Amino acid sequence: MPEGPEIRRAADRLVTAIQGKPLTDVWFALPPLQPYAADLVGQHVVAIETRGKALLTHFSGGLTLYSHNQLYGVWRVVAAGETPETKRVLRVRLQTADKAILLYSASDIALLTAEQLAQHPFLQRVGPDVLDMTLTAEQVKARLLSARFRRRQFSGLLLDQAFLAGLGNYLRVEILWHTALAPQHNAAQLNDTQVEALSHALLDIPRLSYQTRGTADENRHHGALFRFKVFHRAGEPCERCGGIIEKTTLSSRPFYWCPGCQR
């Protein structure tokens, strides 16, 4: 499943394609949404934002299209009128004079008023988004040490969207390696230095992934690039301590770690 950085980059592509341009055609596969299609023609998309792994497409008339890709959903940008060959099931088509954005295979889709959006069960349940640049490490630290989360094992906590939205399996793996923490621990067991390091890593690693993952190293003269240190590297040496990276299963997801330095 795509994690927060991938969802945000997908939203960026959609924004570039259609934001601010009048919609010339709107189509929905789901019958409850179909009555809204005609009214949306002539409106424009004013913004596309993400809340963790959910994507919110805001229309100029006041409605918002809520979609969650879950396991199989994917957005694509195509030329206006283009119908790609695919085995995926088309759910949504939003078209302007030159571009169209298509949502395939997702099933969790709704058109909501502002009031309905504020009361949406998923959006009410998720925690702060790690890619919200107003979220600070101090606020993350407070959540880590709160009564609700401080005794939760990191293996499960870092997958729980109620803790922080946008984290997922590869981010869980990389954050714990960067902070040299074992997955069975919890925040209540850490010292102040470890809590501080984890609070920063919970923001820094996802934001670095969003900004640079997939960027080539060549011709980049400043800043860091996101690359996997342990994820999908079982059997390889840890670049920090030389130990051998291992793979196991935690919270029903594959987990990679270095027993030599994640203690």
Model confidence pLDDT, tens digit, residues 40-53 = 999 999 999 999 88
Residue 103 forms part of a structural domain: yes
Has residue 14 been placed in a domain?
Answer: yes
241-262 average pLDDT score = 96
Tally of domains within the chain:
2
Cα 53–Cα 59–Cα 63 angle in degrees, nearest 5:
80
Dmax over Cα atoms in the chain, in whole Å? 61
183 is catalytic: no
- Which residues constitute the domain of residue 100? 4-125
Does the annotation count 259 as an active-site position?
Answer: no
* Active-site annotation holder among 9, 88, 99, 253: 253
The predicted model gives 20-45 an average pLDDT of: 98
Active site residue 196: no
- For residue 119, the SS3 value is coil
The arithmetic mean of pLDDT across residues 168-179, rounded, is 97
Least confident of 14-23, 100-109, 208-217: 208-217
Distance CA 199, CA 144 (A): 8
Whole-number Å distance between alpha carbons of 153 and 185? 5
Catalytic residue among 8, 53, 172, 229: 53
Q: In this structure, are 70 and 146 located in the same domain?
A: no
- Which pLDDT score is estimated for 258? 98
**Looking at residue 73, what is its pLDDT?**
86
Question: In the listed set 125, 151, 173, which residue is the last one of a domain according to the structure?
Answer: 125
Say what the pLDDT of residue 155 is: 97
The answer to whether residues 150 and 97 belong to one domain is no
Tell me the one-letter amino acid at 113: T
Let me know whether 165 and 120 are in one domain.
no
Kind plus residue range of the DSSP H or E element containing 207: helix 192-212
Predicted TM-score (pTM) above 0.85: yes
Alpha carbon of 117 to those of 110, 111, 163: distances in Å? 10, 9, 20
Whether 3 sits among the annotated catalytic residues: the reply is yes
Same domain, 119 and 159: no
Catalytic pick among 3, 6, 51, 206:
3
Q: Are 176 and 154 in contact (CB under 8 A)?
A: yes
Same domain, 146 and 222: yes
Kindly report the CATH number assigned to the domain that includes residue 167.
1.10.8.50
Residue with tokens 């080539």: 216
- List the beta bridge partners of residue 74: 104
Last residue of a domain, one of 75, 96, 125: 125
